[in-house]
Structure 1
Amino acid sequence: MFGALGVYDGFAQGEGVGRIVVDSTWHHWFNINLIGMKNATDQTNYNRYKVFVCNVACWIAPKQVQKQMYLRAIWHSQFTTKVMENYHTTNYSWTYKDTQKVLKRFVSESFRKEWLSLWYPKELLSPEKESRDGLLYAWSPYKCPHWELLEAELLQGVIKEWRPLILEIIRKKRTSVEEQELTELFEKGASQGVWNAMNRWSEVIDKQREMKENYAAKLYFSGNSTL
């Protein structure tokens, strides 16, 4: 359907640089080709095309707009049946886990990683599975936490900030939320969540280093001459 598609990822070049998508044809964007797909008995191509358009729109959106997409995805997930029940108990530790389950249903893995890359290094979210350097490779999957753990930390931070607000809505103490308030709480919670994730990752690395040193000492004193 799409013979050639070229992209330029300006996000990787630094702040202030956007993204570009160049299609090999413009016909299926706004003329009779699109109408034909929409009116066809078999809607397979039309449904695929809608996904394609949404993906392009999301991918080329500026970083701040993508943050708002992520905000809205998390916010609306809080009012699904699966997540809402967590707000009717004092033990709300499962809220972020249920939020992840809802996000999995409506947002692709690639876009969840895209949104997370606004806070985390991309290499950390998609470490190399194979490398000639193995464990020596800086972004080896043996060294990096799974990306969903990083997402979980971010979600916990955001939900912690939003929880009082959502409880007020549930209890009908307020009927609306100002966009600025929602965004500020989101940014604060996301930043705190990322900070917690990086701190815990550092603690794990320190423990691994200690285990390595203890094991090396054990081998040394047992007379292993290879060390």
Structure 2
Amino acid sequence: MAAVGGLADDRALLGRTSTAERVSDILRTRIAEGFFPPGTRLSEDSIGGALGVSRNTLREAFRLLTHERLLEHQLNRGVFVRVLTVEDVEDIYRARRLVECAVVRGLGAPPFALDGIAGAVADGLRAAAEKKWKGVSTANIHFHRELVALAGSARMDELMRTVFAELRLAFHVVDDPRGLHQPYLERNQRILDTLRKGDAAHAERLLADYLQDSLAGLLEVYRRRVGADG
């Protein structure tokens, strides 16, 4: 019981950590939306003042997002939103192929729970009709998150949440979001239709080709904007 009693000394950490996690959620969303583009230096004074949090809380939030590879600390310069290298992008897609294709391969017997995927497809088509290309990007990310969710694994969902958040850093560097994302709306629909037919093996082949083409297209424009050295 003495060990348990000692936990009282850590009580103050609960509030601070909880606040830091909430701050990191806010910043993660802002980074995902492009409010803080890659390469942006994050000012402790400005952000701390705007959110009304202490410097220690903000630094803990920065630490959490650095662990997620969304931020990086540069010695004597401060904290910056990461600019991914070409190698980073390739590694992200390597992880995507390993996880997403494995999820579809392991689906088992149909019918599959496809409401979330269908909703993401509809959101993408709606955003494209309204020429909201960042909305199309968001819908595409949701499509793949819902695909991973078919595995029913909270751990896998959390893993891929961070992968997709990091992927958005690459998307924000691209200067033609329509050209990058619009072609995949039809392919999202094709994968959905194939899963509705219960053909997971064909859906996996479509997905593997999709990811290969998506990587090639992203790297083509990414190299022009960032370069091989990041």
TM-score of the alignment, normalized to the shorter chain, above 0.5: no
The structure with the greater share of residues assigned to helix is: 2
When Rg is computed on C-alpha atoms for both structures, the one with the higher figure is: 1
TM-score, normalization: structure 2?
Answer: 0.31
Determine which structure has greater relative contact order: mean sequence separation of CA pairs < 8 Å that are 6+ residues apart, divided by chain length. Answer: 2
TM-score, normalization: structure 1?
Answer: 0.31
